[in-house]
Structure 1
Amino acid sequence: MKSKIVKWLVGTLAVIGVLYIAARAFGPGILERQLNRIVDNRPFTISTEAEELHRSLRIMDWHADTLLWNRSLLERADRGHVDVPRLQDGNMALQMFTTVTKTPRNMNVHANEADSDNITLVSYLQGWPSATHSSLLARALYQAGKLDDFIQESEGSLMWVRSQAELKAFLAAHQSGASPKPIAALLGTEGAHPLEGDIANVDKMFEAGFRMVGLTHFFDNELGGSLHGVSKAGLTDFGKQVVRRLDELEIIIDLAHASEQSARDALAITSRGVVVSHTGFRGACDTERNFSDDLMKEIAAKGGLIAVGYWETAVCGTAPQDIAKAIAYGIDLVGADHVALGSDWDGAVTAMPSDHMPAITAALLDLGVSTDDIRQVMGESSINFLHAWLPE
């Protein structure tokens, strides 16, 4: 009897081991293919004028969650939206990579409680270090370390931009005639809950390379209310303290996902331009994901930048023409100097991938947007913003 129990236990453990190995080997790819679906708009109809214009642009995108996933940024992938080869194919110049550390179950744009978390399972499934299973700060720092590793391994195809000096060095390298052109990597976080309620952690994140911090994500946190949380409240005292420390360190504040009251509270405190890193305009796409047009005008009036996303609830569509219409609406509302690109690539959305960028340029031309305005929204407004607000 005892030997049968032992055999049963050994057999059970063997099955569990095989299932674990299979989950680790195939689970991340299966999960990402389900969540980061690709909209394939090929074949594109792109005029010679659009192609020539696109190749002359310096393009920046303000939001990609690629660091969350278990694949190399340096290798062309058959899943997701972003890797360096596809960024280069799309003539991208600068990419803000954002870290995701917590998302609620049954995530929606209406109201989410803060008492559940999907990323714990992701951390186990992808074999992250044990510290990341329970610490949101450890998750943010781990993803920051992944980006630094990719940059060091890239042999110059991926370059850090954390300061004015690094921005200047990147722009010189990008314009040097090298082929393929290098890509600038900036680092932000999707919500400030990795601070874990401790103001000293702002400095730790700065030291790890973070130069943009979102205040909230899909749930209310220690800083204040989320646009998709339960309270819709403004900033807490801790949130206001964080905003002041971000200003002191010259870290860009990202208002994407903040409640409208939290956004207005932040605008009242900060002396710097802010970013809405991935969004749409309520007047163009009336969903709960987007701020009101009046708030967008307040953000622009303080020198802010509004980055248009590529997915359904941001722009009411996923085609290049839908993205272009939202951009054109934003230009009319706040001016091209305050409009940019914020794809939300690899952020559990269905969207066009990074190598399809010429289709947006073509769609903007088809709408009659001027080449000067296209040049601004595709990248120059973002580069000017970085010149103004990155740390010296």
Structure 2
Amino acid sequence: MSTRAAAILVLEDGRTFHGEAYGAVGETFGEGVFNTAMTGYQETLTDPSYHGQVVVQTAPQIGNTGINDEDDESDHIRVAGYVINDPSHIRSNWRSTRGLEDTLAQQGVVGICGVDTRALTRHLREHGAMRVGISSESTDVAALAERVRHSPGMEGANLVDRVTTEEKYVVGPDEPPRYTVAALDLGIKRNTPRRLAERGVETHVFPAHTGVDELLSVEPDAVFLSNGPGDPATAEVQVATTVELLRRGVPVFGICFGNQILGRALGLETFKLAYGHRGINQPVLDRHTEKVEVTAHNHGFALRMPDAAATDGGEFDPTAHLGPTPTFQTEFGEVEVSHVCLNDNVVEGLTCRDVPAFSVQYHPEAAAGPHDADYLFDRLVQLIDTHKGAHHHA
């Protein structure tokens, strides 16, 4: 095996980790975050929501299933950098076509291996996600630390424009479609239109800045607000579009970034979580069913609970989910906080009672990951059917 170049990782608070180059040799900067998933590194790497982030994998060994041609969530790797402990020396999977490290190198993604990722993750949990730099060109810690402190942070970052599609495209079922959905691409994952296609939905995917009239030009049964990267406080255009959709009575479904867009359209604020939710094992209570779902997450921001509940800096109340469902009044009638994270009481979903709109903060299209939340696509179809029925009888 070829000798690896020495590499360093420096956090903005000065904490330093030494390792070896993994992937491309070079230098990179981004927000350091950790992902607790034990599987699915290919989907993580190609998820547009990770744009601008240096991802730390907490799973001890990475690369053992290689890379295949089917599981990419977009057309290239999106992370700003990659941090692992033990790089697998072999790849073993019947679908594997190439190695992970070679793929990272080919796409110019700078990474580091041989890092104590448990210690790094614990540091980020205790001190919060922060800017980080990786270099395999120089091991000058002081110089890299200075560049880290001058690199952009995630708060106030408008990244949607960097990941959205340039041209509209369509993904449909093999059979004649039963429904049409217009999707606003804020960083959409490929598996979302596939999940919709399984339910007879033809999805028209539009660039992020598409206006209401163009979205409605395909006569959609609903509009979908996708996941995506960056600070939702910067998404003024998409919030204004969503407000207009709600005023026109168009059914709306949002996930992740789309949940935050809908929440802002309903008058809620967003805030940055200390270290975010990333992984495929987050427990969420669905207040409609009283079931706890194990769910896939990737978000560093969240909606502020309408009653300014504990997550926003107060003391965590582990019994908060046992109380009545939080509701609040908006221009569009009553809205309920339909889902909540049981780890920290973060808002994980909204349901409008008086207009046809709902959203969740997590990923029902999860792959790899649990399928507990797959029913939410069925809930969208039910919302469309109900809305159509109401209009038919009106």
With structure 2 as the length reference, what TM-score do the two structures score? 0.32
From the two aligned structures, give the one with the greater strand fraction: 2
From the two aligned structures, give the one with the greater helix fraction: 1
